[in-house]
Amino acid sequence: MTAAPPVDDVEPVLPRYGDNSLADLLPSVAARVGVAGCHDSFGLPAADRWVVLLIDGLGDRLLAENADEAPYLASLRTGAPPLTVGVPSTTVTSITSLGTGLAPGRHGIVGYTSRIPGTMRLLNALTWDGSVDPVSWQPHPSMFARIAAAGVEASVASRGSFQGSGLTQVSQRGATYIASDTPRDRVYDVSDVTEAAAREGRRSVTYTYESQLDHVGHEEGCGSAAWREVLRAVDRDTLALRNALPAGTALVITGDHGMVDVPDDDRLDADDDPVLREGVVLLGGEARFRQLWTSAGATEDVAACWRERCGDRAWVLTREEAECAGWFGDVADSVRPRIGEVLVASRGTFAVLASRAFPVETRMRGFHGSLTPAEMFVPLLVDVVPA
């Protein structure tokens, strides 16, 4: 017996690439600081100095449902449509879409784990793989490089452990990197960079990142008291950042995905169901957006099997069907084989685990990756420090 998905989960939320997606945010900011060839999709305010804060796991619905816990962030909600993230709705894909201004089909970070073409190996985009050159994997210039080339100060303030990582190189190369390991460090470092630019009369764009909300969501669930406690702390830290910025600075706050709590009785373990493994040579992605690579000629049979097994708990599409539906935007030939030949996108509170291949998933409560409204919509919050 399968659980009925929520009524607003009948059709997948399609990304609005080129219009109202996370990938359009930095090009819009770049347009406001005079970078040629960039367009402001959102009607952002005029400002010469910008700070962009990405709060990992801050879905638009989660913020709306927990507005009392985040009074500052909630006060910036205007009723304008939220942004859509790309597909899959996962951190590595979203951070690269934000940093490059490109859809996943172009930048090629198409999942938490994706196939390294010509191999039977998966690339974990968070931990990376020393045999994979980040610049070859993602050859397009980042928005930070384009901003810097236009004579605008482009900086990233994030954890020191992220500096030089594969994901940082594919999404943020070209920026001046500032190692900031705590929220307090980031407040001081971001404000210092912005103040220095203001004193010197220079335009600037600074990106910074907060991860704790996502971490506790995975561990405890986004419906937990622990998650709400962290949201309160993030709200306080964000207000502290805003208050430390020099007059005239524009602060933009967004997220990389929302989150869904998955109960124990709505989980399917693909490693315990041999029928689901028939014709599958490699299983990747993540629990809410499983990607399957198939043996020769087996794609349609694998898709049919998974549709039968998942029923109305998932959208099961072939890669060609998903590409035609616009899930990844325009897909480059070099990127296509990185995407699973069968894609299993969860609906409702369903998830497909792989307990032997990805044992950490069995210990998680909150998940993301699919195309439901809870996962795909993130806020676009803008505050300008008064002169």
pTM: 0.96
Q: Give residue 8's pLDDT band: very low, low, confident or very high (50, 70, 90).
A: confident
pLDDT at 1: 37
Q: What confidence tens digit (pLDDT) does each residue in 120-157 have?
A: 999 999 999 999 999 999 999 999 999 999 999 999 99
Are both 339 and 211 inside the same structural domain?
A: no
Q: Rounded to an integer, what distance in angstroms lies between the CA atom of residue 101 and that of residue 317?
A: 26
How many domains are there within the chain? 2
Q: Give residue 7's pLDDT band: very low, low, confident or very high (50, 70, 90).
A: low
| Cis check: omega of the bond before 27, within 30 degrees of 0 | no
Are both 145 and 284 inside the same structural domain?
A: no
Question: Which is more confident, 3 or 61?
Answer: 61
Nearest to 72, CA basis, from 245, 246, 241, 257:
241
pLDDT at 47: 97
* 3-state per-residue secondary structure call for 140-160: CCCHHHHHHHCCCEEEEEECH
Q: Give residue 5's pLDDT band: very low, low, confident or very high (50, 70, 90).
A: low
Q: What confidence tens digit (pLDDT) does each residue in 332-373 have?
A: 999 999 999 999 999 999 999 999 999 999 999 999 999 999
Other Cβ atoms within 10 Å of 198 Cβ, number: 18
In a domain, 2, yes or no: no
pLDDT at 2: 45
- Would you tell me the crossing angle of helices 25-32 and 91-100 to the nearest 10 degrees? 30
Share of the chain above pLDDT 70, in %: 98
Are both 241 and 295 inside the same structural domain?
A: no
* 3-state per-residue secondary structure call for 199-232: HCCCCEEEEEEECHHHHHHHHHCCCCHHHHHHHH
Q: What confidence tens digit (pLDDT) does each residue in 243-252 have?
A: 999 999 999 9
CATH value at residue 332: 3.30.1360.180
Q: What confidence tens digit (pLDDT) does each residue in 90-120 have?
A: 999 999 999 999 999 999 999 999 999 999 9
In a domain, 348, yes or no: yes
Residue 164 structure tokens: 């030089």
Domain of residue 354, residue span: 264-365
Give the angle subtended at the CA of 166 by the CAs of 160 and 171, to the nearest 5°: 85
Q: Rounded to an integer, what distance in angstroms lies between the CA atom of residue 146 and that of residue 130?
A: 27
Asked whether the predicted pLDDT for residue 4 surpasses 90, the reply is no
Q: What confidence tens digit (pLDDT) does each residue in 248-275 have?
A: 999 999 999 999 999 999 999 999 999 9
Are both 304 and 344 inside the same structural domain?
A: yes
pLDDT at 78: 92
CATH value at residue 128: 3.40.720.10
